[in-house]
Structure 1
Amino acid sequence: MTDPRLPTVVADWHDVPEGLRGASIALGNMDGVHRGHLAVLHAAHQARPGAPLAALTFEPHPREHFRPDDPPFRLTLLPAKAAALGAAGAAVVYALRFDEALAAMPAEAFFQQVLRQGLGAVHLACGQDFAFGHRRGGDAERLSELAEAAGIGLTIVPPLTDAQGPISSTRIRRALQDGYPERATGMLGRPWEIRGTVVHGDKLGRVLGWPTANLWLGRHLEPARGVYAVTVALPDGTEAKGVANIGRRPTLGGDPETRLETYVFDWSGDLYGQEIGVRLLHFLRPDAKFADLETLKAAIAEDAAAARAALG
């Protein structure tokens, strides 16, 4: 059974089925789908409440296309991004394939060929800093001129701000890398989540009495390494509390790749091969190297108690 809140994801703007055209479209990379992105989506809906609501984004993120050797920085990969946009009311997500052809398309061509002809947009909404087309040659002002000439409405949404300034994906990344998941939660409107498939580890957690569900971070941003109080979105749709470690296991000689190891409180079962979401709520301590496994085992017990206290 398909989830009615999950939007239809469209990767190609050529030959879009008629039923997926004619939407009021929010524009932007929308990494994280934070409160500022949701303001743009709501503006698109308010302008044309009778039209289908859609979001247009790019996959991969243009930065991944142009700088493939950069460290991973994504807050949300496409499935999580689409789910968050769907939960906010989007019926369609145009996750357009960002390739050489799209990167080379001038701003005017992108407007005429993609937005107007390909998708049949009836209204557009974007943030003040929206840029589009070859070498970001078009901005919100140029989009306004093109939309007006084509008879398509445009809403330019001012940045949503908090006490520290405009909410942005960059600020959220920095908060997570500095070990402040609560700040990220405030800007996102929900806890930041790493979604992935549970993989087999070396079963050491089980030996120590703390069996963990292991995920690789993959293309996700790497937040501050250390121990977190978390909640876990389980495959059956329920949520459990837990404690997680993000790091490279220095006590065990170190790993070449960062992993997320989560002990789920008061739960037993087999999660291997299944997708879970680990939501970071509180940073408890930095990653540390312990003298031996007994010291590590005692530290995990302390971390679990601290996580339970932090989660109430």
Structure 2
Amino acid sequence: MIRAQLHEGWQATPQEARGCAAALGNFDGVHLGHAHLVHTLHSARPDLPLAVVTFDPHPRELFRPQDPPFRLTLSDEKLAALEALGVRHVFQIRFDEDFSRMSAERFVEDVLYDGLGLKHVACGPDFAFGHRRGGNVSFLSERSAELGMGFTPVQALSDGTAPYSSSRIRRLLQDGYPERAAEELGRPWFIRGEVQHGDKRGRLLGFPTANIPLGRHLEPARGVYAVTVRLPDGQTRPGVANIGRRPTINDGQESRLEVNLFDFDGDLYGQTLSVALHRMLRTEKRFDGLDALKDQIAQDATQARAVLDEELRANYL
């Protein structure tokens, strides 16, 4: 597979990255609807290198900083997912106060045409851009034609009930349905982060855990999940994870992810793990003491093993 190249900004585009066909959007999650957009563009211009123009931080993070974290994918995760779709160049534009005031006209002419040197662009029906969202699909179509830059409008892909969307995937995760979110993403949803030192309480309970902050990731429904964990060496291990604030211990800390890897004995501190959520087993609850909690954790681990074994068998049938 050809590695995707990440280009930050638009004012110093290398010559070898110019002349692409690019899909435009935020691409949070890189779900099946995004894949449809990218594949449609490639079908329209298979003669051109395939690219994506996206933004970081997400505009919502700039305009609504008081909102809790909501991201499905961060920059590294997004790049990997786009690369898997065959994208060769990812133009990641910093979305700050100055850029937010850029007019729709300047975005098309200065950024897309002059700055990135694009030959063809594509977007979904809801794509809006420029100061106060002054540009839409019609504007992009007209201005692209005037500049001699090709344009392909792409209808949203639907599962038969509604279009695939990042918002719908967020709701599924917050409602405790990671398996349904995976159907919309085309892969399990995962949280990626660096293992940090905790209070070692899991080890005392007989279930040592790797502690990973949620960071800018969306917080899914609080509770216990059957998970798989990708290690830095590419190895994938099954496990069980808790996401929440540990009400039995009542440590007052913010929500975090704690994952126990089955049949694993190693030092993971400081390493970056990707924890994929497969099924929510139960919601977060408070227990009457650590013995009751320990018994429940053992039951959770047994149930998680059964869920993952069932999924593995189903995938091989």
* Bucket of the pairwise TM-score, normalised by the shorter protein: over 0.9
Alpha-carbon contact 1:107-1:136 (below 8 Å) kept:
yes
Inter-partner Cα distance in structure 2 for 1:216 and 1:308:
24
1:37 pairs with one of 10, 34, 39: 34
The code of the aligned residue for 1:58 comes to F
Aligned length: 309
1:155 pairs with one of 152, 155, 158: 152
User: Shift of residue 255 of structure 1?
Assistant: 3.0
Q: Residue 89 in 1 paired to residue 86 in 2? A: yes
Q: Residue 143 in 1 paired to residue 140 in 2? A: yes
Q: Please, which runs of 5 or more residues in structure 1 have no aligned partner?
A: none
Inter-partner Cα distance in structure 2 for 1:300 and 1:221:
24
Inter-partner Cα distance in structure 1 for 2:25 and 2:142:
18
Give the corresponding residue for 2:200.
203
1:244 pairs with one of 241, 246, 263: 241
Q: Please, which runs of 5 or more residues in structure 2 have no aligned partner?
A: 310-317
Alpha-carbon contact 1:181-1:192 (below 8 Å) kept:
yes
User: Shift of residue 52 of structure 1?
Assistant: 1.4
The code of the aligned residue for 1:206 comes to R
Q: Deviations over 1:149-193 (max 9, x none)?
A: 112111111111114311100000000000011110010000001
Give the corresponding residue for 1:173.
170
The code of the aligned residue for 1:68 comes to P
Alpha-carbon contact 1:107-1:137 (below 8 Å) kept:
yes
The code of the aligned residue for 2:116 comes to L
For the aligned residue pairs, the C-alpha RMSD in angstroms reads 1.0
The code of the aligned residue for 2:66 comes to D
Give the corresponding residue for 2:270.
273
- TM-score with structure 1 setting the length: 0.97
Q: Deviations over 1:185-239 (max 9, x none)?
A: 0100000010000111111111111011110001100000000011111111011
Alpha-carbon contact 1:5-1:83 (below 8 Å) kept:
no
Aligned partner of residue 128 in structure 1, secondary structure: coil
1:290 pairs with one of 276, 287, 291: 287
User: Shift of residue 99 of structure 1?
Assistant: 1.0
Q: Deviations over 1:243-284 (max 9, x none)?
A: 000000111114331110001112221111011100011010
Aligned partner of residue 68 in structure 2, secondary structure: coil
The within-5 A match list for 1:220-231 is 220-231=217-228
User: Shift of residue 5 of structure 1?
Assistant: 4.8
1:72 pairs with one of 69, 84, 94: 69
Inter-partner Cα distance in structure 1 for 2:138 and 2:81:
28
Alpha-carbon contact 1:32-1:76 (below 8 Å) kept:
yes
Give the corresponding residue for 2:11.
14
User: Shift of residue 6 of structure 1?
Assistant: 4.1
Inter-partner Cα distance in structure 1 for 2:209 and 2:2:
31
Q: Residue 115 in 1 paired to residue 105 in 2? A: no
- TM-score with structure 2 setting the length: 0.95
The code of the aligned residue for 1:266 comes to D
1:309 pairs with one of 295, 300, 306: 306
